[in-house]
Amino acid sequence: MAFALLHLAPGDPISRMAAANGVPPELLAQWRHQEGYDQPIAQQYLRWIGGVARGDFGRSSSQKRPVLDVLVDRLPNTLILMSLALGASVLLGAVLGAWQGARIGRPAERAWAFVLLMVNAVPEFWLAMGLLTVFAFRIPVFPSGGTIDVGMYDSMSTAQQLWDRLRHLVLPWASLTMVASAVFARYQRESMRDAMREPFVQTARAKGLSERGAHRHAWRTAILPLITLSGLFFPALLTGSVFVERIFGWPGMGDTLVRAVSDRDYLLVSACVIVGSAMTTVGALLADVARTYADPRLRRA
């Protein structure tokens, strides 16, 4: 579907390049024929998917190099950003949501619920632009974009290079982490609230278990839905990183995808869709494995 929808958009890579350079229509038609863009969409798709089955993703028309090389170059940057954001957001969301779920209705809990609702409603790109404006321009604490300080990086020591990379990572990481943490916290809050009402928690209380002990007892059950959500949320971070990477100039899959769509780079966009699909599958698989280790009942089943 992604392959077909992109082809239905006006123009193609050859047309965009020709329009910018004033290429005659006859030469344009010849180029389109050489690249196969004048063939039916179904025929182009079959040719492309046959190459993918052999490990050949084709050549990027916008970057003038194999698509697989572009993925190898950009995917690690996105995986680093997404993994750190997911780990931090799961930890923060689990702690804050469990605390809320054990204190439903109290003033402090209501205040945090309102704050998390507001953060959850903020789009990643709006939050990213706000952080960029405040902490890169008004209060220039962090760099405004990129992954390294290009002009000075080679002259830095190893420790300075690591610190430079971390400084460039902070703002895009914070943009993804804040929104994802709010989502996880809201799920954990509801799960913890339901777990606190379970009969086994009431029985534990009746036997003299302290309130803190009851919270720990309930949290082992309440954490299971969060594990499933984290596996499914991992590929969802790729959607958020599309805007965040573009805003901060982070050279990852999100920035690559935006540029590829703008340039009508059919093969690169289609490869990015495959990567997103693979991440969805891997995320779901890892969530199932983690649930099996977290819940002994699933291992016995």
Question: What are the tens digits of pLDDT across the range 78-129?
Answer: 889 888 998 999 999 999 988 888 888 889 889 998 998 898 888 888 899 9
The answer to whether residue 149 sits within a structural domain is: yes
* pLDDT at 132 (0 to 100): 92
Pair 163, 148: CB distance under 8 Å: no
For residue 61, being part of any structural domain is answered with no
Q: Are residues 190 and 112 in the same domain?
A: yes
Burial class of residue 149 (count of CB atoms within 10 Å of its CB; 0-12, 13-18, 19+): middle
Q: Is there a domain that residue 257 lies in?
A: yes
Q: Burial of 182 by CB count in 10 Å (0-12 exposed, 13-18 middle, 19+ buried)?
A: buried
pLDDT at 17: 64
Q: Which of 79, 68, 69, 73 is nearest to 271 (CA)?
A: 68
State whether 176 and 245 are in the same domain.
Answer: yes
Backbone angles phi, psi at 210, to 5 degrees: -65, 165
**Are 199 and 225 spatial neighbours (Cβ–Cβ below 8 Å)?**
no
CA distance 156 to 208: 60
Residues 21 and 91 both lie in one domain: no
Do 218 and 145 fall into the same domain? yes
**Cα-Cα-Cα-Cα dihedral sign, residues 246, 251, 254, 259:** positive
pLDDT of residue 22: 65
87 & 15 share domain: no
The tally of domains found in the chain comes to 2
Q: Report how far residue 102's alpha carbon sits from residue 173's, in angstroms, rounded to the nearest whole number.
A: 29
Whether residue 209 lies inside any domain: the answer is: yes
In a domain? residue 64: no
31 with 86, same domain: the answer is no
Collect the ranges in the chain with pLDDT lower than 70: 16-23, 297-301
- Alpha-carbon distance of 26 to 21, in angstroms, equals 14
Alpha helices by DSSP H, the chain = 2-8, 13-21, 25-35, 41-53, 67-101, 107-121, 124-132, 158-196, 199-206, 211-248, 253-262, 266-294, 296-300
Structural domain including 7 reads 2-56
Kindly state whether residue 68 falls inside one of the protein's structural domains.
Answer: no
Indicate if 136 and 31 belong to the same structural domain.
no
Which pLDDT score is estimated for 37?
77
CA distance linking residue 221 with residue 199, whole number of Å: 12
Query: Partners of 66 in the beta sheet?
Result: 59
Q: Give yes or no: residues 51 and 119 share one domain.
A: no
What is the CATH classification number for the domain harbouring 131? 1.10.3720.10
Give domain status of residue 198, yes or no. Answer: yes
Q: Is residue 95 located within the same domain as residue 236?
A: yes
Q: Mark whether 219 and 122 lie in a shared domain.
A: yes
Q: In this structure, are 116 and 249 located in the same domain?
A: yes
Residues 116-121: contacts with CB within 8 Å, 24+ apart? 116/182, 116/185, 116/186, 117/182, 117/186, 119/178, 119/179, 119/181, 119/182, 120/179, 120/182, 120/183, 120/186
**66 DSSP 8-state letter:** E
Asked whether residue 292 is domain-assigned, the answer is yes
Based on the fold, state whether residues 198 and 88 are members of the same structural domain: yes
